[in-house]
Structure 1
């Protein structure tokens, strides 16, 4: 593997594009270039409410599949409803798959509290085999679907700092500036540019 090459384990093409965009932003002030390689490994997802535990288990599987010494990272995203004490959390993708967005919104219909938080947890295994965590959180609320429904639950999550737009209604740059994924990857990017991989 060449210098500054890291593997991102995801089978989600939209997520890959978003992460490439975030890691490439504003890189002109750095002397180092990060080369992102994608591997779509089929990783078993541990059933847990601890987001770090889920990400760590996936990252350990990735290291095992790719071989030690290759810098690799995984990311896991959760959508936590305040009213449900954090659920559906990391299970949100299965809720979307089995219920659809409209029924997820209906889950909160009888509750006044529609507040939620979107969370991205990154686990990075460096070339020495050490694990590092980065987490971004964006608070918002669950709303009826607005905007394109091509990217998970973006059309039902309205961040507090979005001026009444759902993620799906925002431009990519505007979303990346305030999103849970953008915040987590900003921390990760800073770490990558300041440390040996």
Structure 2
């Protein structure tokens, strides 16, 4: 399968990760950076809104992503608002948010949204992994990967090789679901839409 997708993000490191994850599937990623409004809502509501807006602005098919980091001790917060916490604290201090809690566990969630174009309903694909929030370790590329240690291993996402990380990460899981759907629904590029697989 050879398919081209239009990824809407301005994050160069995220683009590199998504290209690397999708390359074995024969999916070519081109990129556009758009200033999309940040709404408040659930992870899914935010991704749907971004996807619809991007499709309207581009006038065609788009892929967007949204990432959430949900602390179990805080009933899922900061969730999709993690970006603002990172801007204020930086990844080095993120673990301090849980200093008063014995529960340091968290869930990392990546949501990929695909929209065929204006007037079409976005389709969502989610990847979720459980882990622990730790003091920052590893090479900082983007986000909070230095602070998140997936269960079952002793490394943060930032300490893993790209190949290892892409196999088990929330983003890798979400993109695998998207790739499977795209392969099964290649006709969607011509207007037919089927439900995605969260």
* 2:93 pairs with one of 85, 91, 103: 103
3-state DSSP of counterpart to 1:155: coil
- How many angstroms does 1:47 deviate by? 1.4
Q: 1:164 deviation in Å?
A: 0.6
Contact 1:5 / 1:71 at 8 angstroms: preserved in 2? Answer: no
The alignment's TM-score, normalised by the length of structure 1, stands at 0.89
Once the 2 structures are TM-superposed, how far is the Cα of residue 102 of structure 1 from its aligned partner? 3.0
Deviation digits for residues 140-169 of structure 1 (CA, Å, limit 9, x no counterpart):
0000111112221111100003x2100010
2:37 alignment counterpart = 44
1:1-197 aligned within 5 A: 4-25=3-24, 27=25, 33-48=26-41, 50-67=42-59, 70-126=60-116, 129-161=120-152, 163-195=153-185, 196=187, 197=189
Deviation at 1:92, TM superposition (A): 0.8
Count of matched residue pairs: 185
Deviation at 1:129, TM superposition (A): 2.2
Q: State the shift of 1:103 in Å.
A: 2.6
Superposition CA RMSD, Å = 1.4
List 4+ stretches of structure 1 deviating above 6 A: none
> Structure 1 stretches of 5 or more lacking a match?
28-32
- Decide whether the 8 Å contact of 2:92 with 2:136 is kept in 1: yes
Whether the 8 Å CA contact 2:22–2:28 is kept in 1: the answer is no
Q: Is contact 2:19–2:28 with CA below 8 Å preserved after alignment?
A: no
**1:30 alignment counterpart:** none
Taking the aligned partners of 1:140 and 1:169, their CA distance within structure 2 comes to: 14
- The CA distance in 1 between the partners of 2:87 and 2:97, in whole Å, is 15
Cα displacement (A) at 1:193? 1.6
- Any stretches of 5+ residues in structure 2 without a counterpart? 190-198
State the shift of 1:86 in Å. Answer: 0.5
